[in-house]
């Protein structure tokens, strides 16, 4: 049994991670300021004596004795990270400093939830870990992209300077049950719109691509990375390499939900990456990991989840 801290544990990925870590018999401390996370997503674990929730903001230091830290705290949807961009970059940078300081002090292993956004709007396709990326340092996505890049830098510097045992996961677009109805990211937006018989809002012409990873596959990859040999620090891409245009995604969701919704087009936000697909050669080699759940199967589960939520809200 390990004592494990999950910052951002009340969010979409965090709540699934807490659940899996509890099932595997660990003690889990979930730390979250509930900016985009919710008590509802962790309420099933509150009765578990191996689970604790701490309402806390990672920009402030905290002292805990733990064996492992998953640092997930940061809003991830463009709508949410652009709501208060200064807070977003502070969360990534100061959150990394505070959790790395804790890892250094108590000799815990720490995994940083980084992102495919460190590649920006990439010229290299698919994206390999050696690629340094093409990020606009002064645009509306910079608070998130540059914050995550600075967090990777801090991870590597604490590792080189203080021998902190680090892992960096570059997570590509992940979806699944427990995304918030108002999350704002494409999969939940399209499903909620389709189920509510509202227009499906495609930004731009829908030719931009993303590669969607189902939550269970991602959690498996994160836990494998955390428990990999100390020499494996990453960064390692974790995502599903099967690439779709946003138009294809809209059509698949309309088919699966048998929705009468119409597709409408809205302006493409600034710096929206044109294409994105992970090269997962490294994850296959170092972690013996690859995703198992393809888009249609994952979407069916996600549609079933949102159907239940929307019916309960009526």
One of 2, 3, 26, 34 touching ligand NAD (CB under 6 A): 34
Q: Report the site for ligand NAD in 84-123 (rule: CB under 6 A).
A: 91, 113, 115
Q: Does 136 bind ligand UDP (CB under 6 A)?
A: no
Paired with 114 in beta bridges are 170
Picking from 234, 109, 249, the residue whose alpha carbon sits closest to that of residue 173 is 249
Number of residues near ligand UDP (by CB under 6 A): 14
Q: Measured between alpha carbons, how far is 292 from 214 in angstroms, rounded to an integer?
A: 9
CA distance 163 to 160: 6
Among 5, 14, 146, 219, binds ligand NAD (CB under 6 A): 14
What DSSP element (H or E) covers 166?
A: strand 166-171
Closest approach of Cβ 201 to ligand UDP, in Å? 4
The number of CA neighbours under 13 Å toward the Cβ of 81 is: 23
Q: Does 78 bind ligand UDP (CB under 6 A)?
A: yes
For residue 44, the SS3 value is helix
Does 131 bind ligand UDP (CB under 6 A)? Our answer is no
Length of the chain: 314
13 lies in the site for ligand NAD, by CB under 6 A: yes
State which of residues 4, 5, 11, 254 lies at the interface with ligand NAD (CB under 6 A).
Answer: 11
Question: Is 173 one of the binding residues for ligand UDP (CB under 6 A)?
Answer: yes
| Part in contact with ligand UDP (CB under 6 A); list of ranges 25-33, 126-134, 182-190, 212-220 | 182-190
Query: Taking Cα atoms as reference points, which of 270, 264, 239, 267 lies closest to residue 250?
Result: 264
278 binds, among ligand UDP, ligand NAD, none (CB under 5 to 8 A by kind): none
Q: How far is the CB of 182 from ligand UDP (least distance, A)?
A: 12
**Cβ count near 258 (within 10 Å):** 7
> Catalytic pick from 70, 144, 158, 214?
144
Ordered DSSP codes for 243-284: EEEHHHHHHHHHHHHT--PPEEEEPPPTT--S---B--HHHH
What backbone phi and psi angles, to 5 degrees, belong to 116?
Answer: -60, -20
Which residues ranging from 55 to 84 are in contact with ligand NAD (CB under 6 A)?
Answer: 57-59, 72-76
User: In Å, how far from its chain's centre is CA 235?
Assistant: 15
Q: At 1, list the tokens.
A: 């049994």
Tell me if 134 sits within 8 A of 76, measured CB to CB. Answer: no
- Judged by beta carbon, residue 62 or residue 268, the one nearer ligand NAD is 62
Q: Residue 115 binds what, of ligand UDP, ligand NAD, none (CB under 5 to 8 Å, by partner type)?
A: ligand NAD
Using the rule CB under 6 A, is 272 a contact of ligand UDP?
A: yes
Enzyme catalytic residues:
144
- Site of interaction with ligand UDP (CB under 6 A): 77-78, 173, 185-186, 189, 201-203, 208, 210, 246, 269, 272
- Site of interaction with ligand NAD (CB under 6 A): 7-8, 10-14, 32-37, 57-59, 72-76, 91, 113, 115, 171, 173-174
């Amino acid at each position: 049994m390990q004592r494990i801290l999950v910052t951002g544990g009340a969010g979409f990925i965090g709540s699934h991670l807490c659940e899996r870590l509890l099932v595997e018999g660990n003690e889990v401390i979930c730390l979250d300021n509930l900016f985009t996370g919710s008590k509802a997503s962790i309420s099933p674990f509150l009765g578990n004596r191996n689970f604790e929730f701490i309402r806390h903001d990672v920009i402030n230091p905290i002292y805990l004795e733990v064996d492992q830290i998953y640092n997930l705290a940061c809003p991830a949807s463009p709508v949410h990270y652009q709501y208060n961009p200064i807070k977003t970059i502070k969360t990534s940078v100061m959150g990394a400093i505070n959790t790395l300081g804790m890892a250094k002090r108590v000799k815990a292993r720490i995994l940083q939830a980084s992102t495919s956004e460190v590649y920006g709007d990439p010229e290299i396709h698919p994206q390999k870990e050696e690629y340094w990326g093409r990020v606009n340092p002064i645009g509306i996505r910079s608070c998130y992209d540059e914050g995550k890049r600075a967090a990777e830098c801090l991870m590597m510097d604490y590792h080189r300077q203080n021998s902190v045992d680090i892992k960096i996961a570059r997570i590509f677009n992940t979806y699944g049950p427990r995304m918030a109805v108002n999350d704002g990211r494409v999969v939940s937006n399209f499903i909620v719109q389709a189920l509510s018989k509202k227009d499906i809002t495609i930004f731009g012409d829908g030719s931009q691509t993303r590669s969607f990873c189902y939550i269970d596959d991602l959690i498996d990859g994160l836990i494998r990375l955390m428990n990999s040999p100390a020499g494996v620090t990453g960064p390692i891409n974790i995502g599903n390499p099967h690439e779709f245009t946003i138009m294809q995604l809209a059509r698949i969701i309309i088919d699966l939900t048998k929705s009468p919704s119409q597709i409408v087009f809205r302006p493409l936000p600034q710096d929206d990456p044109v294409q994105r697909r992970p090269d997962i050669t490294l994850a296959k080699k170092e972690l013996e990991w690859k995703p198992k759940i393809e888009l249609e199967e994952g979407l069916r589960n996600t549609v079933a989840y949102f159907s239940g939520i929307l019916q309960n809200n009526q």
